[in-house]
Amino acid sequence: MTILLYDGTFEGLLTAIFEVYEYKFDPAEIIAEERYNTESIFSATHKVSTDQEKSDRVLKRLEKNIGKKGISQLLKVYLSENENAERLILSAVSQSILFPNEYILENFANSDIMEIAKITKSVSREVHRMHAFVRFEKLQDEVYFAKIEPDFNVLPLIIRHFKNRYQDQKWMIYDLRRHYGIFYDLNEAQFFEPALEQTSQLKRTENILHEEEIQYQKLWQRYFFKTNIPERKNMNLHVQSLPKRYWKYLTEKL
């Protein structure tokens, strides 16, 4: 067994997959370096340096075999942070090479493909919920800011939605769980990682809210209170449609 250690990036993972075939490692396992903590006398390790050319060659082959839709599915598996993500993606790539004329991601008789389908569905559902439940707050510097804590690392998957929807506003979305975010400056959206001393301020924004935001939040909360009809309240259905874990960032629930 050869264990390939990569830097945790998607490009690094594709480079590792390329090198599985380049060096004919069989059997092989791919693990992100930060998660590798156990050496074994029964396996050898191979350190992978991310190589854009090798990564692009794998992507090009995948696009030919399973199309952009299939690549999108594998990207969601990678962003799911599932402990088996690398194994599942390597399995899918291997099958796409063995059966280039078949859309292998629909071969649900295969347990790995079925697992990929389940993960993709879960990640897609989380992306949909982020589109619906992200709430921006206007800060004193006129930037609209939102905090999120998704179950999966979906921030890269929601950029296009918010960039298209709020093209005329500066906005920022920060993932509290993974400690990074996106900032849109009216031209492009870029990832950022705040310094340690800035993270506490990003968690608690009460003292840097714009005066308009404070007034609008009061109006929004009052509207919800006034339009609520206690006799028609169905808490089970409400929680089913709007899981409680999202409530703490919804203005109407504060």
Whether 200 is covered by a domain: the verdict is yes
Residue 38 pLDDT? 74
Distant-in-sequence, close-in-space partners of 163: CB < 8 Å, separation ≥ 6: 184, 189
Residues 174, 241: one domain? yes
**Which residues share a beta bridge with 183?**
172, 190
Overall pTM surpassing 0.85 (yes/no): yes
Same domain, 74 and 103: yes
pLDDT per residue as tens digits for the range 59-100: 999 999 999 999 999 999 999 999 999 999 999 999 999 999
For residues 224 and 178, membership in a common domain is answered with yes
Whether 6 and 121 share a structural domain: yes
Same domain, 79 and 186: no
Q: Check residue 237 and give its pLDDT.
A: 87
In a domain, 227, yes or no: yes
Domain membership of residue 113 (yes or no) is yes
| 214 and 114, same domain (yes or no) | no
Last residue of a domain, one of 95, 126, 157: 126
Q: Which of 82, 90, 81, 86 is nearest to 62 (CA)?
A: 90
| Tokens standing for residue 162 | 């918010």
Same domain, 118 and 200: no
For residues 16 and 85, state if they share a domain.
yes
The pLDDT of residue 174 is 96
Q: Where are the beta strands (DSSP E) in 7-99?
A: 28-32, 44-47
Q: How far apart are CA 254 and CA 239, in angstroms?
A: 16
Domain end (from 79, 102, 126): 126
Looking at the structure, do residues 116 and 194 belong to the same domain, yes or no? no
Question: CB within 8 A of 51, min separation 6: which ones?
Answer: 15, 18
Rounded distance, CA 159 to CA 182, Å? 8
Q: In the β-sheet with 28-32, what is the strand arrangement from edge to edge?
A: 28-32, 2-6, 44-47
Check whether residue 27 and residue 81 sit in a common domain: yes
- 120 with 173, same domain: the answer is no
Q: In the chain, how many domains are there? A: 2
Q: Which residue segment(s) compose the domain that 238 sits in?
A: 134-249
109 and 160 co-located in one domain? no
- pLDDT digits (tens), the chain, 254 positions: 999 999 999 999 999 999 999 999 999 999 999 988 877 777 899 999 999 999 999 999 999 999 999 999 999 999 999 999 999 999 999 999 999 999 999 999 999 999 999 999 999 999 999 999 999 999 999 999 999 999 999 999 999 999 999 999 999 999 999 999 999 999 999 999 998 888 888 888 888 999 999 999 999 999 988 888 888 888 888 888 888 888 888 887 77
Which of 126, 145, 168 marks a domain boundary?
Answer: 126
Examine residue 254 and state whether it is found in any structural domain, yes or no: no
pLDDT for position 41? 73
